[in-house]
Amino acid sequence: MHRFYHPNTININESLFMDNPSSHHALRVMRVKINDQIILFNGDGSDYQGKVINLKKNQIEVLIISKKVINHESHLKITLLQALTSNDKMDWIIQKTTELGISEIQPVICDRSIIKIKDNKTEKKLLRWRQISISACEQCGRAKIPHIHPPQDLSNYLEKNKIFKKNLKIILSPDAKKNLNDIEFMSTKQEISVLIGPEGDFTKKELELAIKKGFLSVKIGPRILRTETAPISILSILQYKYGDIV
């Protein structure tokens, strides 16, 4: 059954018009027809089954029939602190980490970051990233959408942010002395923050600041991973060892 995102409130036994992006995809790509059964979700944790009751040129009217709470979220709450990288790599990271169950994504700007986003382009970039994450949720069956924060300077973020007090904090570094297996996990319900560096790696100053703020420097193997490979690898390992990938 085809699954689409709807940004507004969804009520059982009421009809609604799908928003334009979803309608266009349903009409032009999925070729939905009158009386077709589809699923809508709006990020509240539930799937809503509906029936197509009316088709217009660019709109689809859907009657909502039932609601089902979806439990596809991992009990392991992971926040990815990802150094900004090129557009296609960042898009890939957001798509794949959404599929792997990421809870939050905080893009960070490092001293060696190749990509810088101008202030007047931030909102447009956030909208694009959110749409990529929504599309990934449509595909993988998640009913909650990861929160993607505006990019922040890494050093400023580490100095000012206080969310880390209860989190296990990991920074990936090819020069780390410890492997992930050396880290003790106190609980499978633990919140974890994972910090991934840019193409040129962290500066010595950034690495020292992160460690000062409680990050544990670890590596996940003998090979140096690209900035777009590292988050996929670490999330897969964490979800397999402590989360919901079995």
pLDDT score, position 133? 98
Query: pLDDT per residue over 73-132, tens digit each?
Result: 999 999 999 999 988 999 999 999 999 999 999 999 999 998 888 888 899 999 999 999
Tell me what the mean pLDDT of segment 237-242 comes to. 92
> Which range is most confident: 154-158, 164-168, 181-185?
154-158
Q: Which of 107, 44, 113, 114 is nearest to 73 (CA)?
A: 44
Domains and CATH numbers, the chain: 3-69 (2.40.240.20), 77-242 (3.40.1280.10)
pLDDT tens track for 8-53: 999 999 999 998 788 878 877 778 889 999 999 999 999 999 999 9
Q: Round the CA-based radius of gyration of the chain to a whole number and report it.
A: 20
Contact in structure between 171 and 210 (CB atoms under 8 Å): yes
Q: CA 31, CA 223: separation in Å to the nearest integer?
A: 46
**Which pLDDT value is given to residue 120?**
84
Cα separation, 93 vs 237, in Å, equals 16
184 has pLDDT over 90: no
- pLDDT category at 166 given cuts 50, 70, 90 is low
- Long-range contact list for 160-168, CB < 8 A, 24+ apart? 163/79, 163/193, 164/193, 164/213, 164/214, 166/191, 167/79, 167/191, 167/192, 167/193, 168/192, 168/193, 168/216
**pLDDT value at position 126?**
96
CB atoms within 10 A of CB 137: 21
Instruction: Report yes or no on whether pTM surpasses 0.85.
Output: yes
3-class secondary-structure state, position 59: coil
Query: Quick check: helix, strand or coil at residue 122?
Result: helix
